[in-house]
Amino acid sequence: MDDKTVMENLLLTTKGVCDLYLHGTVESAGTTDVHAAFKTALDSALTMQNDIYKTMTDKGWYPTTNAQPGEIRQVKNKFTCPPPTC
């Protein structure tokens, strides 16, 4: 298995962990200690996810493109609630 594949697997796994910790944080809001533990774990996992993403981007393994203004406008219009329904 090459380094790019290992990093892709790490990124996907870390994103899944972030999702689990997010739900744990939200669902444990009434229990202060448990909520704090999940939030701490979530913050750590998000930092790890960002580090993996940065490494992959630096190596050219996670290419991104900027959205064009017209594309941004289309998405904004799609999700904007027209008056008088809002």
Q: Given this model, what pLDDT does residue 81 score?
A: 81
Question: Does 86 reside within a domain?
Answer: no
Question: Does 26 reside within a domain?
Answer: yes
**What's the structural domain count of the chain?**
1
Compute the distance between CA of residue 27 and CA of residue 78 in angstroms, rounded to an integer: 31
* Residues near 25 by beta carbon (within 8 Å), at least 6 away in sequence: 35, 38, 39, 42
Say which residue, 47 or 82, is predicted with more confidence: 47
Q: Given this model, what pLDDT does residue 84 score?
A: 73
Question: Does 74 reside within a domain?
Answer: yes
Q: Given this model, what pLDDT does residue 38 score?
A: 96
Question: Does 16 reside within a domain?
Answer: yes
Q: Could you list the residue range(s) of the whole structural domain that residue 35 is in?
A: 3-79
Compute the distance between CA of residue 57 and CA of residue 39 in angstroms, rounded to an integer: 27
Question: Does 85 reside within a domain?
Answer: no
Question: Does 75 reside within a domain?
Answer: yes
